A = this chain, B = another copy of it.
Amino acid sequence: MGLVAALVRSSFLVHAVYAQAARDDGLTPQQGQLLCVLMAQPYGMGELCSMLGLAKSSLTGLVDRTENNGLVRREPDPRDSRAVRVALTPRGARLADRFYTEACRRIEELPAGLDPAERDTLAGLLGRIVLDHKVPAVFAEPDQASPGG
């Protein structure tokens, strides 16, 4: 298989697994992403836009829907009365944790046919590609999932 085909097809595979994990937790992939990003800390709408690569108007809707589901909350920014901080609700935090853990587990299973050394090689090569390009930090590294403990 050529490198292009391998990249494209593996990317579809990962996306499908990710989407299914979200679905199993009653989330859309986008809502899952939002929760994962907010696991680290609350963010303003503008920050979320650039992190998720969305237009402002798209994000408003996404946050609206996720808020209606009781998973996130808009809090006023004490420093700027126009601005808003989007934060996880307790329920959202629990669900984010669950979803994140499970999504990682499933994706980690994908390279089951590779031995540890090969996994390492793969992680290294993909990591270099990712770092060579501007990729929104949509999915924290497992090791950094809970920064600050």
Chain A interface residues (CB < 8 Å from chain B):
1-16, 18, 53, 104, 107-108, 110-114, 118-123, 125-133, 135-143
Main secondary structure of the interface of A (DSSP, over half): helix
Number of identical protomers: 2
Determine whether the beta carbon of B118 is less than 8 Å from that of A125: yes
Q: Which residues of B lie under 8 Å from residue A122 when comparing CB positions? A: 3, 6, 122, 125-126
**A39 to B: closest C-beta gap in Å:** 14
Known: A8-B14, A10-B126. A131 touches B3 (CB 8 A): no
With A10-B11, A122-B126: A5-B53 Cβ-Cβ less than 8 Å: no
Contact (Cβ within 8 A) A143 B13? no
> Contact partner of A127 among B1, B138, B141, CB < 8 A?
B1
Say which residue of B5, B139, B140 sits within 8 Å of A141 (CB atoms): B5
Say yes or no: A11-B2 contact (C-beta < 8 A), given A118-B125, A132-B113.
Answer: no
Q: What's the Cα separation between A44 and B91 when bound, in Å?
A: 45
- Min CB distance, A5 to chain B, in Å? 4
Q: Which residue of B lies closest to A130 (CB)?
A: B9
Q: Could you say which residues of chain B place their CB within 8 Å of the CB of A6?
A: 122-123, 126-127, 130
